[in-house]
Structure 1
């Protein structure tokens, strides 16, 4: 406790008062719990704001792809729903405000991405019935034409045109997913079980990040379809540090043509960043 006294002119105590921190000490555990909850709420609100920002950005970019590609469908309704959700965000939202909004936006993002994937696959498989049946029966990826519109100038074979060897080594899918876990969210049904799933996810990410189809097709021709998909996964993992995903991919492709780029070091760096022991990776 602490006591204060005010004396009169003759030295006598005229006024005395004081206070004690003992009641606060008695409630210290309760106060610590309140403080911990306040900090947890602050972090949760920050996390929700980040998820909200990412969802808004992703959906806006996906809708831009739809508009630019003039894809058929009731996309006006999607845009209106997106606009309604965004307009319902309060000026100073709390956790209770953001939680349902973020969930609704994430559902919308998944729906738009799935519809785009379906359109891409239908567009590629709608030409020849025999070819369509063959594509459906084959489970392994054979060509980038299954995933991206052809320009008519791509090499007819899947063999990369760049230098062979380490530059075009195909790394295990499990290693790629450990290094680039973010790509899994864009696979069919939110998962990646095969190289084909990864390639489908890479097409979605390519559209979302604004990478032109021609840039991705060239990367597939030079690196191989698996490595091009893995490269897109790496770019997504470092999207916050890359100004232009398309320019970055073209630069990697140009280096791969000259034999100056290998996917290995990039994957190893991301593995280390994610806390994996790269000495056991192969």
Structure 2
């Protein structure tokens, strides 16, 4: 079997006065080929490079040299015929496999395709043809068995341009890393803005949050499907500015809540200046002032000894203040309502049930909810329970949301009672439901654009 990769005689390939080689047959010589041969002539003395490390860098920078992945597969097969892992003049510069053997190592590539990709590698200045007089690839040996001269493909250009290839690969790798980091920052920023807007709507923070959300969507829609780093930088700057503005508004809301909590803790207490007075706290409907009975009065129905003892204890103090307050039931607390514009934006179908096909006030929405309740076969008692627990406005909002999802709800009455029980336990919030419906209303518009 013939050996397909043997070192050529040192100094005979590219460093004598006859280093210029022209292609065989009909292949034409170009100035580019001549320039590549001149560049390959000036290889630094003793320069060497790992062929597979260089090949990986070339795969990274292939867009710079305009070569395809199939051409790289052919180059990979060609480098496999080089006898050493280190490309250097000492190890030879020419490899000379036949097209048949090269096609086998290139995973059975067709001969015509093989020739086309070899020509692309030569045109890109990565290989240099050193054709024999008859166009065949072979090596001529001397009497001692050493290579006298070889004809095939010279890898001198790869050695000469190794530093250039590594530099291009490093720049492309850095750009890809920068693009990945920018995409990560963009994803986190989009997530932050979405969730901050949701909590702002839930907490009813001051501000036009519908407009802010519309601005957010318009910025996101400017991104192309296959964005480049230059496209993402501008979008990221705008989104970070929007996130900063949202955080400023929410910080003001937090300060307002802290001030309200401080004021509620420092309210004035009812206090008697007489230190001998005794204050008691008992369940009652209002403040009651108990005065001492007159000495000549008796307690009706209390003729026993306990009554007289109670009377004697009450006479020890001239006044007794009993402070009472009705206990708060957490389940009776109503949910926070949302802006009517947001409800209409998330549930546009409810406008069809308003007077004249319009919903202009909460009264119109609650009137429409009554009609929708009847249409969805929700009992009056179920709707009344929802109004008592959630509040009339929130109950009407829930009915509007149920109308949008009516085709997915089997029993509207049971669904409403379940939401009412969850709201009574503090496990239900209208905000996520509204935001989900609002996003679903905007998605067809974005797809159409």
Greater share of helix: 1
Q: Check whether TM > 0.5.
A: no
Name the TM-score, length of structure 1 as normaliser. Answer: 0.41
State the structure with more CA Rg.
2
Name the TM-score, length of structure 2 as normaliser. Answer: 0.26
| Higher normalized contact order (CA 8 Å, seq sep 6+, divided by chain length) | 1
